[in-house]
Amino acid sequence: MITTRMPDPLTRNVAAAVRIDDLHACLTDPIMTAMNQLNEVAERYPDALSFAAGRPIEEPFDVEDVHTALRLFCEYLNHERGWNRDQVRHAMFQYGPTRGIICDLVARALRDDDGIDVDESSIVITVGCQEAMFLMLRALRRDERDVVLAVSPTYIGLTGAAGLVDLPVLPVRSDATGIDLRDLDAQVAAARRQGLRPRALYVVPTFANPTGVTIDLPTRRRLLEAAAALDLYVLEDDPYGVFGDTEDRLPALKALDTARRVVYLGSFAKTALPGARVGFIVADQVVEHTDGSRAALADELSKIKSMVTVNTSPITQAVIAGYLLRHNFRLSAANRAVAATYTLRRRRLIAGLERRFGRQSGTAEISWNVPSGGFFCVLTLPFRADDRLLAHSARRYGVLWTPMSHFYPPGTVSHQMRLSFSGVTEEEIDRGLDRLADLIAEQMSRRKPGNHHPAAIHRRPQWTNASLGDDYE
């Protein structure tokens, strides 16, 4: 971490080192340091097989696709919008509208492909889904009483963005349905008793990160009713929805949202390309100003964006728009081949786990869940799977994974690993599992006999009704 140019303390007037305690508290948030450590491990062992990174497949992609997409969008502007060469240049070259220049195309994709019918005026194009999260959390955090809730375990990007605006994240337990709605009730009630204001619930309803779990349809409906009853917004994050076993997707919460409770956080990172860094937010809620006028929440988020990134690069918006045009606004169909590859990888991973650890299912010592799509599954072990074990795993066995503890509140001890299968070939999965099996055998041999761990989640279609939280120490 030390740069090559530390100031010489003997030099006159060199600025004293600033103490980390004098900078914003997010910088000492365990999430931030964890992210850093995980990255450092990955950098230190570049040849390790990685079940850690939740990266999309890049093989079907060619740099030439960027050029093609850009040209397609420029032609579209010319033919469909009737823009001349100067207008197209202006759109690509200049500062642009903060809310973006492809809101209409995104609205069309949402309608045609996802069954989400929203007006383009409720959409803001963002620098990836991360900025969408940040804008919404910034808007919601008025003062120290505000809190958000999140289905636990929770994606680190949400927890990290909340930390930037000093917004506590209260965990809500997940169960077999993907979310324990009684716990949601209980957490909101407890927070209100403490004088806090629960503002929203964050959830990845389909093939969640980190668990791979999907919330079923009846629970989706009950979740929306609960949000209305509890007066919460629902922040829906849905980057993996099209990567399932079947083409019959469950409707997004936003598609079921007759009451405008849902703010939809959109990503093109997995369906198009991460390198564009283009996402969006759908916020068709109403904001009432003190003078009695009303605006869409999207308008307010757009104001915040103007002070964070001004606008999303029109060049990257053009690349995404070109993808949408090229695939007739059906990214689910465009991703069918890729989705099939993820399915093969997922099955290979599950089969590999069964082959190596299946015989232990009777003792329930080693278990995993079997998601029906997405990028991730979770392996539960009878020993701690923490950062120290990860470092050992990388150094000694050349295999990387993500300690699940990072998706829980700080200090949580976990016996679980997140295994991501999206970015590894079937052959790499086999080799990676061999290495993982060696690590596990080593750890098992060190255990005292009889020291069994109670958590038992094994080859069920979803989580068992034992909460993921059950394996805390």
Q: Which of 80, 84, 275, 461 binds a copy of itself (CB under 8 A)?
A: 275
Contact call for residue 191 and a copy of itself (CB under 8 A): no
* Interactions with a copy of itself, residue window 307-346 (CB under 8 A): 307-316, 319
Nearer to a copy of itself, 116 or 213 (CB): 116
Among 106, 252, 269, 399, binds a copy of itself (CB under 8 A): 269
Please report which helix (H) or strand (E) contains residue 297, including its range: helix 297-306
Among 38, 41, 48, 66, binds a copy of itself (CB under 8 A): 66
**Which C-beta is closer to a copy of itself: that of 115 or that of 461?**
115
Least spacing, CB of residue 157 vs a copy of itself, in Å: 7
What does the chain come to in residues? 473
- For a copy of itself, which stretch binds (CB under 8 A), given 94-102, 345-353, 383-391, 456-464? 94-102
52 binds a copy of itself (CB under 8 A): no
Choosing from 40, 44, 62, 410, the residue that interacts with a copy of itself (CB under 8 A) is 62
Min dist CB 85 to a copy of itself, Å, is 8
By CB neighbour count within 10 A (0-12 exposed, 13-18 middle, 19+ buried), where does 326 fall?
A: middle
Q: How far is the CB of 188 from a copy of itself (least distance, A)?
A: 15
Kindly state whether residue 61 participates in binding a copy of itself, applying the rule CB under 8 A. yes
Sign of the C-alpha dihedral, residues 242, 244, 246, 249?
Answer: negative
State which residue, 93 or 186, has the beta carbon closest to a copy of itself: 93
Place of tokens 């990134």: 309
Angle value at C-alpha 404, between 400 and 408, nearest 5 degrees: 150
CB atoms within 10 A of CB 308: 13
* Helices within 358-473 (DSSP H only): 387-392, 426-446
- Binding to a copy of itself (CB under 8 A): which residues in 132-151? 134, 138-142
Residues 429-458 that bind a copy of itself (CB under 8 A): none
Cα(23)–Cα(258) distance, rounded to whole angstroms?
43
Give the Å distances, CA to CA, from 300 to 172, 294, 461.
Answer: 28, 11, 41
239 binds a copy of itself per the rule CB under 8 A: no
* Binding region for a copy of itself (CB under 8 A) out of 84-92, 171-179, 203-211, 444-452: 84-92
CB contact at 8 A, 32 and 382? no
Question: In angstroms, what is the minimal distance from the CB of 88 to a copy of itself?
Answer: 6
Answer yes or no whether residue 376 interacts with a copy of itself by CB under 8 A.
no
Q: How far apart are the two ends of the chain, measured CA to CA in Å?
A: 32
Q: In what order do the strands lie in the sheet with 376-380?
A: 367-368, 376-380, 416-420, 402-403
Single residue of 96, 239, 241, 266 touching a copy of itself by CB under 8 A? 96
Is residue 402 close enough to count as binding a copy of itself by CB under 8 A?
Answer: no
Does residue 79 belong to the site contacting a copy of itself (CB under 8 A)? no
**Spatial distance between the Cα atoms of 384 and 379, rounded to a whole number of angstroms:** 12
Contact 317, 100 (CB under 8 A): yes
What's the token pair of residue 187?
Answer: 């957490």
Q: Residue 410 in contact with residue 32, Cβ under 8 Å?
A: no
Residue placing its CB nearer to a copy of itself in the complex, 77 or 353: 77
- Asked if 94 is part of the footprint of a copy of itself (rule: CB under 8 A), the reply reads yes
Question: How far apart, in whole angstroms, are the C-alpha atoms of residue 233 and residue 297?
Answer: 12
Position 332, amino acid: S
Tokens describing residue 13: 């007037």
CB-nearer residue toward a copy of itself: 130 or 174: 130
Structure token pair of residue 143: 């003062």
Structure tokens at 30: 């365990």
CB of 314 to a copy of itself, least distance (A): 5
Say whether residue 214 binds a copy of itself (CB under 8 A).
no
Q: Which of 196, 228, 351, 444 binds a copy of itself (CB under 8 A)?
A: 228
The verdict on 163 binding a copy of itself (CB under 8 A) reads yes
288-307 positions binding a copy of itself, by CB under 8 A: 288-290, 293-300, 303-304, 306-307
What part of residues 7-46 is at the interface with a copy of itself (CB under 8 A)?
A: 7, 11-28, 32, 35-36
Quick note: the x/- pattern for a copy of itself over 112-131, rule CB under 8 A, is ------xx-xx----xx-xx
**C-alpha distance from residue 115 to each of 45, 110, 246, 328 (Å):** 43, 6, 17, 15
Q: Reply yes or no: is the peptide bond before residue 210 cis, omega within 30 of 0.
A: yes
CB-based contacts of 455, cutoff 8 Å, min separation 6: 364, 367, 380, 415, 416, 466, 470, 471
Q: Select 61 or 472, whichever has its Cβ closest to a copy of itself.
A: 61
Choices 287-295, 333-341, 399-407, 429-437; region in contact with a copy of itself by CB under 8 A: 287-295
CB-wise, 54 or 373, nearer to a copy of itself? Answer: 54
Distance CA 356, CA 358 (A): 6
Nearer Cβ to a copy of itself (277/345) = 277
